[in-house]
Structure 1
Amino acid sequence: MDKRKPTLIKLDVSDNEANLTLKVDADILDFRGHFTHFPLLPGVSQIDWALFYAVEHLNTPALFKGMEVIKFQEPILPDAEVTLSLSWDPAKEKLAFTYSSQKNGNRIVHSSGKMKLGE
């Protein structure tokens, strides 16, 4: 079976928020062909993972209704360790997510966005 998800290192969940520490393993299928000489994690994979973990750990609706805001600022490279922060607003049916990491004591934001979910 081809690997599609990262290794979950740590999980903290409270109310409508979750923080996941993920190891973005180099053998994840999504790195193949994206790009041959400079592999990076596709944006669509980042969105997919945010939705997957929100449904799994925050019990959000699974139906994706669209993106409202999305920014890809720094690539996520093979074998990176990143934090995925999720925040669910049930009243507005909006999921906010941020992928970040630490480098030399500084927080690097890789991507962030908001998506509309529903039934």
Structure 2
Amino acid sequence: MHKRKPTIIDVNCADTQATLQLKVDADILDFCGHFSHFPLLPGVSQIDWALFYAVEYLNTPAVFKGMEVIKFQEPILPDAQVTLDLNWDSDKQKLSFKFSSQQGELLVIHSSGKMKLGK
């Protein structure tokens, strides 16, 4: 269990937007100990992934300067397939992110937020 990132299924990028389809593999290290009876992906991991993929695909600054808004609504469980939507506002130096998944007819929002980035 040394894996820290999900398996990327698909990536679609535009200038300031990226959408990633991810499989949140059960062997990701972040599940270990969070929690043994009901493993779920920690919120800090979701924030880390949003920043990591924003830097990689949108060429955003890599320095985290703080969260403005954050909501954790539904847990992300092992082996879930989720969509990560990223939107970069270069004028405001803000990254918006949203983790969601389709569960039958229902679109489930797992988490969303805005973070300030800089150099």
1:35 is matched by which residue type in structure 2? Answer: F
* Secondary structure of 2:91's aligned partner: coil
* Secondary structure of 1:78's aligned partner: coil
* Residues 48-97 of structure 1: CA deviation (Å, up to 9, x unaligned): 00000000000000000000000000000000000000000000000000
Mapping 1:61-76, distance limit 5 Å: 61-76=61-76
* Residues 23-61 of structure 1: CA deviation (Å, up to 9, x unaligned): 000000000000000000000000000000000000000
* Secondary structure of 1:115's aligned partner: strand
Mapping 1:1-119, distance limit 5 Å: 2-119=2-119
Q: TM-score, normalised by structure 2?
A: 0.99
Moved over 6 A (4+): none
Alpha-carbon distance between aligned partners in 1 of 2:105 and 2:7, rounded to the nearest angstrom? 23
Alpha-carbon distance between aligned partners in 2 of 1:14 and 1:68, rounded to the nearest angstrom? 24
- Structure 2 gap ranges (5+): none
% identical equivalent positions: 73
User: How far off its partner does 1:104 sit?
Assistant: 1.1
2:59 is matched by which residue type in structure 1? Answer: N
1:103 is matched by which residue type in structure 2? Answer: Q
* Secondary structure of 1:67's aligned partner: strand
- RMSD of Structure 2 on Structure 1 (CA): 0.7
2:46 is matched by which residue type in structure 1? Answer: Q
Q: Aligned pairs, how many?
A: 119
- Structure 1 gap ranges (5+): none
* Secondary structure of 1:52's aligned partner: helix
